[in-house]
Amino acid sequence: MLLRLRVSLPDRPGGLGQVARALGALGADILQVTVLERESGRAVDEFTVEWAGGAAEMEERLSSLPGMRVDGVWPTKEVPGSAPDYDLLTQVAADPARGFATLVDALPGLCGADWALGLADGVVRHASLSAPPGYDLPDPPLRAVTRAGGDLRLLVLPVEGLHIVVARRVGPAFHRAELHRAVRITEVVAKLAGRTAEAAGAVDP
C-alpha cells in the first residue's frame, strides 16, 4: 500500500535519518521525501512510503518516537517520481478550451485528495471522479484558502469566475506549501485558458 505520512520533528542534524531508520525498522520502503517547512526549531516533512500494513498502525508506531509528532498518515495514489503537474499542463496546452475541466480532474491526484469540483454561483461546472453532485460553499473566499468543511479538509481556489474546491477525507489539513503549489498550477491553467478565449474573441465578427 502506498501511504503518505506527515511528521513534525526537531530541526537538527540526523532528524530525517531518525525517521528513515524508524520506517526501515517497520519494513517500509521510502519512495519520496518532501520538505514542507523549516521554522521555529522544527521541521515538517512528508514521506511517501510503500508498506504492507495500514495507516493507523504506522501512525501508532511512529508516534512513540521521542520528539516526533505524527500529523497524519493516509493512503495516496500519487506515484513517486512521476510529474503529474507537467502532464496536466501538457494536456491543457493541447486543449486549453477544456483547461479548467482538465485541472479539476487532475487536482485530486496532485494534492493527495479525494475529489475536486469547479463551482460557479453554486452550480457544479466541472467535477472529478468521486466528487459529490454538489457542494454548498456558503462563504466563498476572495483568495485561495485552506479550511475545514465538516469531516473534510479543503482547498478553495477562486479563479476566473469559478471556485475550485479540493477535498481530502482523511489525513491532515492541507499545508500552506500544498496551497501554494495548487495556486501556481491554477494560475498557469488560467493563463492558458484565457489566451484561448482572447484568441476566439479576436476572430469573432
Give tens-digit pLDDT for 114-131.
999 999 998 999 999 999
pLDDT tens digits, one per residue of 149-197: 888 999 999 998 899 999 999 888 999 989 999 999 999 999 998 754 4
The pLDDT of residue 184 is 93
The pLDDT of residue 205 is 36
Please provide the size of the chain in residues: 205
| pLDDT confidence bin for 61, thresholds 50/70/90 | confident
Q: Residue 200 and residue 14: Cα distance in Å, rounded?
A: 56
Mean pLDDT across the chain: 86
Residues linked to residue 32 through DSSP beta bridges, in sequence order: 48
Mean pLDDT, to the nearest integer, of 63-70?
84
DSSP codes joined into one string, 35-62:
EEEEETTEEEEEEEEE-SS-HHHHHHHH
Q: Which three cell numbers stand for residue 151?
A: 469531516
Mean pLDDT, to the nearest integer, of 109-116?
90
Looking up cell 510529474 gives 83
pLDDT at 6 over 60: yes
CB atoms within 10 A of CB 90: 10
Task: Give, in degrees to the nearest 5, the angle at Cα 187 between 128 and 99.
Answer: 45
CA neighbor of 153 nearest in space, from 121, 179, 133, 127: 179
Q: Which domains occur in the chain, in start order?
A: 2-75 (3.30.70.260), 84-203 (3.30.450.40)
The pLDDT of residue 13 is 82
pLDDT at 201 over 80: no
Residues linked to residue 124 through DSSP beta bridges, in sequence order: 119
Q: Residue 99 and residue 108: Cα distance in Å, rounded?
A: 15
Q: Residue 2 and residue 132: Cα distance in Å, rounded?
A: 25
Edge to edge, the sheet with strand 42-50 lists 29-39, 42-50, 2-10, 69-75
Mean pLDDT, to the nearest integer, of 46-56?
87
The pLDDT of residue 202 is 37
Q: Residue 119 and residue 164: Cα distance in Å, rounded?
A: 6
The pLDDT of residue 64 is 81
